[in-house]
Amino acid sequence: MEQQAGGRIQVQAQNDAWEPQAEQWSQRLDLPRHLPDADFTLQVSENGLQLQQLGADAPGPVRVDFVEGAVAHRRLYGGGSGQMIAKAVGVQPGVRPQVLDATAGLGKDAFVLASLGCDMSLIERQPIIAALLEDGLARAQGDPEVGAIVARMRLLKGNSIQVMQQWQGEAPQVIYLDPMFPHREKSALVKKEMRLFRPLVGDDMDAPALLAAALALASHRVVVKRPRKAPCIEGIKPSHALEGKSSRYDIYPKKALKPA
């Protein structure tokens, strides 16, 4: 298994009914079922696949849920096409760009754009996070409202730079990047996810190469999410940025997005 940072992981079922699924994930991800000194447990339960860090002060489990919770609240009350991310990728009347999210993570930003009508491709290179995302997308397919949204989300797995360099077919109009950085938001959920994922993923030290690959592939623009006060990614400079309270979107235009 490709593992970019520290973290020993075991796979467990929360009860006997989920043993077959736990065994399948164990084989797919090449992870042991029982590990005496494990740092994390990938749990299979009635709520789906979730990752639990072990230890006395470990945060609660993380899973992908597009139907309920924070993601659902954002879909219903988050501001629609007025959100900064929507403006950054070029959502406007008559324009719903085809977007490649090359740093998908748990798929939250991609889901927001899909809920606004964008066709989304998602790349996630960390196998455990990709598994959580795959499971969340599969569970959401059965929901009457959310199923139509996740149908616009296509998950790809692998190194984003390589996937973009070897891209087959029509190029995405917009490529969206959110490289891993030390989040400072006050949201407890963000803190929990960052605490959980940083030992597994580490920082994206290849962000300049990621940006270069995105600029070579995107037909219309590249958008990079950064902390509000952080420097731009090394390389070509963005033409402008949209700035919020804690983060900003650096925009690298190539061609104007126009209504079909």
pLDDT higher than threshold 60 for residue 5: no
How much is the average pLDDT of 106-132?
95
Which residue matches tokens 């070509």? 236
pLDDT at 180: 75
Q: In this prediction, what percent of the chain has a pLDDT beyond 90?
A: 73
Report d(CA 114, CA 151) in Å as an integer: 9
Written as six digits, the tokens of 21 are 């699924």
How much is the average pLDDT of 142-157?
95
Binding site annotation covers 143? no
Report d(CA 40, CA 115) in Å as an integer: 32
- Exposed/middle/buried for residue 246 (C-beta within 10 Å: 0-12, 13-18, 19+): middle
Q: What domains are there in the chain, each with its CATH number?
A: 9-53 (no CATH), 70-253 (3.40.50.150)
Full-model pTM: 0.89
Q: What DSSP string runs through 126-175?
A: SHHHHHHHHHHHHHHTTSTTHHHHHTTEEEEES-HHHHHHT--SSPPSEE
Query: For 204-221, what is each residue's pLDDT tens digit?
Result: 568 999 999 999 999 999
Using DSSP, how many helices (H) and how many strands (E) does the chain show? 9, 10
Binding site annotation covers 178? yes
- Exposed/middle/buried for residue 258 (C-beta within 10 Å: 0-12, 13-18, 19+): exposed
pLDDT at 131: 97
pLDDT higher than threshold 50 for residue 150: yes
Q: Give the type of residue at 11.
A: V
Query: For 173-203, what is each residue's pLDDT tens digit?
Result: 999 999 876 544 444 445 556 666 666 665 5
Average of per-residue pLDDT values in the chain: 88
Q: Which residue has the higher pLDDT, 176 or 57?
A: 176
In sequence order, what are the residues at sequence separation of 6 or more whose Cβ sits closer than 8 angstroms to the Cβ of residue 172?
98, 99, 100, 121, 217, 218, 219
| Residue 51 Rama label (left phi>0; alpha psi -120 to 50; beta) | beta
Binding site annotation covers 184? no
Number of CB atoms found within 10 A of residue 255's CB: 10
Report d(CA 98, CA 89) in Å as an integer: 9
